[in-house]
């Protein structure tokens, strides 16, 4: 099987991946709304293909402290998913879920709540991708880290940097009441998995069309 050259993603590939990002993010927000028992409105997600080295700058600086919830991705599609929140957004979610005004140093109960939020949102996101592609996708239990953006992003960069330096970035902003919450998904499949996803959707890959 010839693999997709991620460096040559054309507009068709990008449009398909953007649509996957939009649908996945929409289902994740629906799951969050159900979890907290409140209406959550989502703004149109920003979906981009980025190089791993560009990602820490999304947060303003690699030194910016963020919450990162990390998942391994296995099954037909292998790679990583990272769900990130800035500290204000994380505090807002804890308030919505627990009625607690969280501080910047979250306690174990608050961290557990954030892991559960990430788990439900990532699970909903992956389930929608799996349904659309008919590919088997499983996520690992969540692993939460509160650290500088550069440090958190170094985990998938080290693990997958040699086989894929591109990620699918889905910036999702959602509003509950007057609170604006930003949660970013980073889908980091290996190159073979990009190939499988596109072929499963019938997108032409290197001159081959999947019927």
Q: Coil, strand or helix: which one is 204? A: coil
Q: What is the pLDDT of residue 1?
A: 37
Q: What is the pLDDT of residue 11?
A: 64
Distance (Å, rounded) from C-alpha 48 to C-alpha 37? 30
Given a cut of 90, whether residue 12 has pLDDT beyond it is no
Q: Quickly list DSSP for 32-55.
A: HHHHHTS--EEPPPEEEEEEGGGG
Given a cut of 70, whether residue 2 has pLDDT beyond it is no
pLDDT (mean) for 190-210: 68
Of 21-25, 32-36, 131-135, 155-159, the range with the lowest mean pLDDT is 155-159
In tens, the pLDDT along 122-169 reads: 888 888 888 888 999 999 999 999 999 888 877 665 555 555 566 778
Supply φ then ψ for residue 11, to 5 degrees: -65, -30
Other C-beta atoms closer than 10 Å to the C-beta of 43 total: 14
In tens, the pLDDT along 45-104 reads: 777 777 767 776 777 788 889 999 999 889 998 888 889 998 988 888 888 777 777 666
Angle at 140 between CA 91 and CA 80, to 5 degrees: 80
**Greater confidence, 47 or 2?**
47
Q: What is the pLDDT of residue 67?
A: 93
Q: What is the pLDDT of residue 3?
A: 46
Q: What is the pLDDT of residue 139?
A: 92
Supply φ then ψ for residue 194, to 5 degrees: -55, -45
Given a cut of 60, whether residue 106 has pLDDT beyond it is yes
Residue written as token pair 């690992």: 140
7 Cβ contact list (under 8 Å, min separation 6): 166
pTM: 0.79
The strand ranges marked E within the chain are 41-42, 46-51, 65-75, 79-86, 137-139, 143-148, 166-176, 179-189
Q: CATH top-level class for 6-200?
A: alpha beta
153 Cβ contact list (under 8 Å, min separation 6): 52, 55, 56, 62, 68, 82, 186
Q: Coil, strand or helix: which one is 144? A: strand
């Amino acid at each position: 099987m010839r693999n997709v050259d991620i460096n040559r993603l054309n507009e068709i590939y990008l449009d398909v991946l953007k649509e996957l990002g939009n649908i996945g993010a929409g289902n994740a927000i629906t799951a969050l709304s159900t979890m907290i028992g409140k209406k959550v409105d989502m703004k149109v997600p920003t979906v981009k293909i980025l190089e791993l080295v560009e990602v820490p700058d999304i947060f303003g600086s690699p030194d910016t402290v963020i919450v990162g919830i990390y998942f391994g991705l296995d099954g037909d599609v292998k790679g990583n998913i990272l769900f990130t929140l800035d500290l204000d957004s994380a505090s807002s979610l804890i308030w919505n879920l627990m009625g607690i005004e969280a501080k910047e140093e979250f306690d174990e109960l608050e961290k557990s709540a954030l892991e559960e939020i990430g788990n439900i949102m990532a699970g909903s996101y992956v389930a929608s991708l799996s349904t659309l592609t008919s590919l088997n996708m499983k996520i690992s239990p969540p692993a939460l880290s509160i650290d500088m953006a550069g440090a958190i992003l170094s985990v998938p960069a080290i693990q997958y940097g040699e086989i894929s330096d591109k990620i699918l970035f889905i910036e999702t902003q959602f509003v509950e009441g007057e609170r604006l919450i930003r949660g970013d998904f980073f889908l980091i499949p290996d190159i073979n998995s990009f190939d499988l996803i596109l072929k499963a959707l019938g997108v032409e890959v290197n001159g081959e069309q999947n019927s």
